[in-house]
Structure formats: structure tokens, C-alpha cells
Structure 1
Amino acid sequence: MATHKPTSILIIHGAYFLPNAWHSFSDQLRQAGLVVDCPRLPTCADNRPPTATIKDDTAAVHQSAQRLIDGGHSILVLAHSYGGMVASEAITPELYANSDSNDGKGVVALILLSTWLVQPGDSLTGLIGKYGFQCKVDLGDNGDGTVFAKNAAESFYNDAESKEAEGFALRNVTHNILAASGEISGAPWKDLPTTYIHCSRDLAIMLPLQQSMVQDAVNTGGKIITKTLDSGHCPFLTQPEAVLQIIKHAGGQ
């Protein structure tokens, strides 16, 4: 639970998603009294061939956090899927609310919503080498450095009605296949109160892999508690009220 109640929430969306996937949930957060920012990650710009890397995503999120701090806000960061890797790189100590210069403004807590949780010094490739590719996403390769989810409706939205899932899938975009290939250096989950939301029916990052990543993080000093939802990969779409309650608890409400 956050030591200071957040006044804002910074959403870091996943690799094949856009901020518009979060619009409805963002409205609920605003109704709960929070300022919401969800910057578009440059690797999700649908550029072919791709022109951005995780460094560009990191810069975009870091800048958004700094703008919220400059606006006087304490921040809860909510990262989803690939967004967890971006959070590890972007949420650096100078953004923390307890840093000497921020006087209570800044990041107070972190929520990881079925994210890739990679140890510092490791990479997604190393993680998959250790635990296997526990993922049912059928990736299509455009041959230009971008990939896409051929079965997005089934793998990302399997707990939604089929027509609704197909509608959600139409919003998905391509992603730079190399964006998540580099070594991760940061671990804000060692410093900040962190909640990892397990999604038990997730086919994109399957539950045993979620659990293994969290256990590795706890074993190396992670300040992580867990919550579990009986959902697929995107409960902010299919179970928004349940996610909202976890956010309120993490924020001390």
C-alpha cells in the first residue's frame, strides 16, 4: 500500500495495444478522482519498418511521470504486459515521491498487471530460456521487423464474449520485435510498494510464468504482494471494477 495517497495514475500500456484500449477504464479512474495519463509508446506507432526501441518507450513514460510531478501529483504507476519492462527502465529513483527533491510528489506505488517481470541484468530472451515460452499468442511476422498477434481475440480477450473480443482485437497494432530484446537494468519493484495482479486465465503470459517471475522477484528483494483475478490478459476491459478496487487498495483508499 502506498505511503502517500496517489492523486494521479500513470498507465503504461502493452506491446500490441494503444491508449484507446484504456479509455473506458481511464474514465472510471477519473470518476474516482484521479488524474490519468497513458502515453502512447513509440514502439506501438505501427511504423513499418519500426523506428523506435524500448529506449524511446522509456523516455516517453519518464517524461509523462515528470510532467505529473511538475503538476504537483503523487503517482501510482499501472503497467500492463510489456509495459512492465518499460516501467522497470522508466521509473527511476529520481521520480520516487520519497526522493530528496520531490517532497512527496512522485511515484508512490507500482501495480504490475500480468506483466513481464525481468530481473536486472537479464532479458526477455533469458527469461523465456529459463521458463519456456508460456504463451498462446500466435505471432505473425511482417518481415520488416514488426510482429502482430494473429489470434488476438482468443489470446488477449478469451474471457470476453466472442463479438466483443473481435472488436477489441481490431484495435491492436504491430510491435517492434526487437523492442523487448535488450537487457533490463532497473527494478523499481525493489524500492516501491508493488502489487502484482495475477490473471489466472491469461493465455498471453500464462499463470505459472507469472508466478515464477514474481517468486524470482521476491527472492531478490522485491516488495511485492499479489492479487489474483479469474480473468484473461486484459481485465481492465473485462473486469474493470475488480481492477479498480485493487488500485484503490494499493493507493490507500
Structure 2
Amino acid sequence: MPTTTHSTELVIVPGSFSSSKLYDVMVDPLRAKGYTAHVLDPPCYPESYKKGIPSPSMYDDAAFVNAFVTKLADEGKDIVLMAHSYGGVPTSQSLKGVTKKEREEQGKKGGVVRAAYITSIVPKIEENLATTISAAGDQGGAPPIDVDEDGWMSQPQPELTAKMVFNSLSPERGTAEAAKFGKHASVSFGGALTHAGYKDVPVSYFFCEDDLCVAPLVQQNGIDAIEESWKGTPREGKKVDVTRVKCDHVPLLSAPAELEKWVEEVIAKGADE
């Protein structure tokens, strides 16, 4: 039984091709310590795939996240909204109207007190996942991908996915983990950001220095985009709270102790906002 309860709740938006189950290894230890953690399965993710169903969009994911967070906020909860990989795009989009700052201006309680990104894609306005990666030149990218007739993507060669996504693990374990990936909606990668929600909240970033998927320059460009968005706002001159760790694209497996420590620190900072 947990000995402590924590008032700030954690909401996690996974990386593409991943179901919420992948994050059990990350959230189970936190829940055992008394944290409340929610891991979402938005529309573009594997849990929603059905043959014959057209690919949903990044905006569907963002609306799903926004609705979930709004429900918690309406219950008076303070929330740390945390994204991994592609999840950084719909997370940024979803923050419209749900930050604590915005809700307080409307006389409402609760809301997102901090955004947190784990080696995430963080676009500027009018940019999407693909343009954000390509802006960094020949760095980062994706393993081989198939797209079916309904617009859903899959990764047919887990051994090649492992070399890019799970490169801190052994080839055998990485391939086994990559084989667990499901389908992901292709349209989501083309959805351009129309609301840079990170401009309205403090931000923490878990920087994965050995990531071959979201390369270090892509991560740094995202951090720079966030800080640039604060110009002309009350947050001007502040910095993204960055923690750098030598690990691959999935630190919940390759750097679990460091990630758990970081998440606890992020939640504590959110509680102090």
C-alpha cells in the first residue's frame, strides 16, 4: 500500500505505435508510491485500430487528450501533462483552454500546471511531425513502415525498428519490444500544429542523448521552439527545465531509474506552480 498520496495527477500521451500497456513498467512504481497516473490510448493509436476504419488525425488525438484533461480539471485536479515522442504534437495542440492559468482567468479550478516531454516532437505553429524532423536535416527518422488501404501504418521489420528505437538494449530484447508495436494512423504525422499550448505553462524535457529516432538536434529544436514562444509573455527569459540522459528513444526501458526520478521531480514542480 502507498504511504503517501499526491494531489497533482499525471496524464501520459504515449509515443506512436504504442499502447498504454507499454507504460505499465513506468507507472506501476509511481502508483505504488501513491501517485495517480493515467496513460491514454488516443484515436490514432493501436487500441483504436479496426480493419475498414479510416485513419484518424492528430486533431482527433488532441481533442481526446483535451477532453480527458478537462474532465480531471473540472473535478478540481491539477495535472502534469506528459508526452512521449509523437505524443508531443497532440499534447501541445491539446493544451488550449485547459492550462491552470487559462482556467483561473475564467474563474475555474484545476488545470494543467506543467507540460513535460520525453524525447518528443515539439513543432512550431504550422509545422507537423514530418516537417519538424526534416528541419533538422539528415537526423532522426523512422524505420521501415507499411501503410494499409485504410491509412494505418505498421512496422514490418522489428529487427530494424529495434536498431533505431531500442538501440540501448540488446538486439534480441529490442526486437522483442519492437514486435509489440501495433498500427498507428498515418494521417496523424501530417497534422500541423495550430495551437502552441506549451507557451502557457512551465515545461520540463527529458532529453535522450543516444536517441536515433528523435535525434538530439530535433529534441533541441523543440526546446528552442518552446523558449521562443515565451518571448513577449510573462514567461520571457525563462528556460525549459532539461534533464539529459544517455539512453535511446524509450527510456522507460533503457533508463527506468533516471526516468522515474525525473517524473517524480516534475510532479513535485507541478505541485509548486
TM-score above 0.5, yes or no: yes
* Counterparts of 1:33 and 1:67, CA distance in 2: 21
Q: Which of 249, 253, 257 in structure 2 is aligned with 1:237?
A: 253
* Counterparts of 2:228 and 2:64, CA distance in 1: 30
Q: Once the 2 structures are TM-superposed, how far is the Cα of residue 131 of structure 1 from its aligned partner? A: 2.1
Find the counterpart in structure 2 of residue 59 from structure 1.
63
Find the counterpart in structure 2 of residue 32 from structure 1.
33
* Counterparts of 2:139 and 2:49, CA distance in 1: 26
Distance 1:48 1:134, change over 3 A: farther
* Counterparts of 1:146 and 1:13, CA distance in 2: 17
Q: Is the 8 A contact 1:88 1:185 kept in 2?
A: no
Is residue 248 of structure 1 aligned with residue 254 of structure 2? Answer: no
Q: Is the 8 A contact 1:189 1:224 kept in 2?
A: no
Distance 1:183 1:136, change over 3 A: closer
Is residue 148 of structure 1 aligned with residue 149 of structure 2? Answer: no
Find the counterpart in structure 1 of residue 121 from structure 2.
116
Q: Once the 2 structures are TM-superposed, how far is the Cα of residue 75 of structure 1 from its aligned partner? A: 0.7
Find the counterpart in structure 1 of residue 83 from structure 2.
79
Q: Considering only CA atoms, is the larger Rg found in Structure 1 or Structure 2?
A: 2
Q: Which of 217, 224, 232 in structure 1 is aligned with 2:240?
A: 224
Distance 1:6 1:224, change over 3 A: farther
Distance 1:217 1:71, change over 3 A: closer
Paired amino acid for 1:23: D
Find the counterpart in structure 2 of residue 215 from structure 1.
224
Structure 1 window deviating more from structure 2 (21-30 vs 210-219): it is 210-219
Structure 1 window deviating more from structure 2 (196-205 vs 169-178): it is 169-178
Find the counterpart in structure 1 of residue 135 from structure 2.
130
Q: Is the 8 A contact 2:10 2:81 kept in 1?
A: yes
Q: Once the 2 structures are TM-superposed, how far is the Cα of residue 11 of structure 1 from its aligned partner? A: 0.3
Look up the SS of the partner of 2:17 in the other structure: coil
Q: Which of 141, 144, 153 in structure 2 is aligned with 1:139?
A: 144
* Counterparts of 2:72 and 2:137, CA distance in 1: 38
Residues matched between the structures, number: 247
* Counterparts of 1:136 and 1:59, CA distance in 2: 26
Unaligned segments of structure 1, at least 5 residues: none
Look up the SS of the partner of 1:109 in the other structure: strand
Find the counterpart in structure 2 of residue 185 from structure 1.
194
Paired amino acid for 2:19: L
Q: Once the 2 structures are TM-superposed, how far is the Cα of residue 136 of structure 1 from its aligned partner? A: 4.8
Q: Is the 8 A contact 1:190 1:221 kept in 2?
A: yes
Query: Superposition RMSD on alpha carbons, in Å?
Result: 2.1
* Counterparts of 1:136 and 1:96, CA distance in 2: 31
Look up the SS of the partner of 1:139 in the other structure: coil
Find the counterpart in structure 1 of residue 9 from structure 2.
8
Unaligned segments of structure 2, at least 5 residues: 1-5, 232-238
Look up the SS of the partner of 1:117 in the other structure: coil
Higher percent of residues as helix = 2
Look up the SS of the partner of 1:60 in the other structure: helix
* Counterparts of 1:66 and 1:216, CA distance in 2: 25
Q: Identity rate of aligned residues, in percent?
A: 21
User: What does the per-residue CA deviation read over 1:30-60, in whole Å, with 9 as the maximum and x for residues that have no partner?
Assistant: 1232211112021113344543111221122
Look up the SS of the partner of 1:20 in the other structure: helix
Find the counterpart in structure 2 of residue 95 from structure 1.
98
Q: Once the 2 structures are TM-superposed, how far is the Cα of residue 228 of structure 1 from its aligned partner? A: 0.6
Paired amino acid for 1:74: D
Query: So what's the TM-score if we normalise by structure 2?
Result: 0.82
* Counterparts of 2:30 and 2:21, CA distance in 1: 14
* Counterparts of 2:226 and 2:94, CA distance in 1: 18
Query: So what's the TM-score if we normalise by structure 1?
Result: 0.88
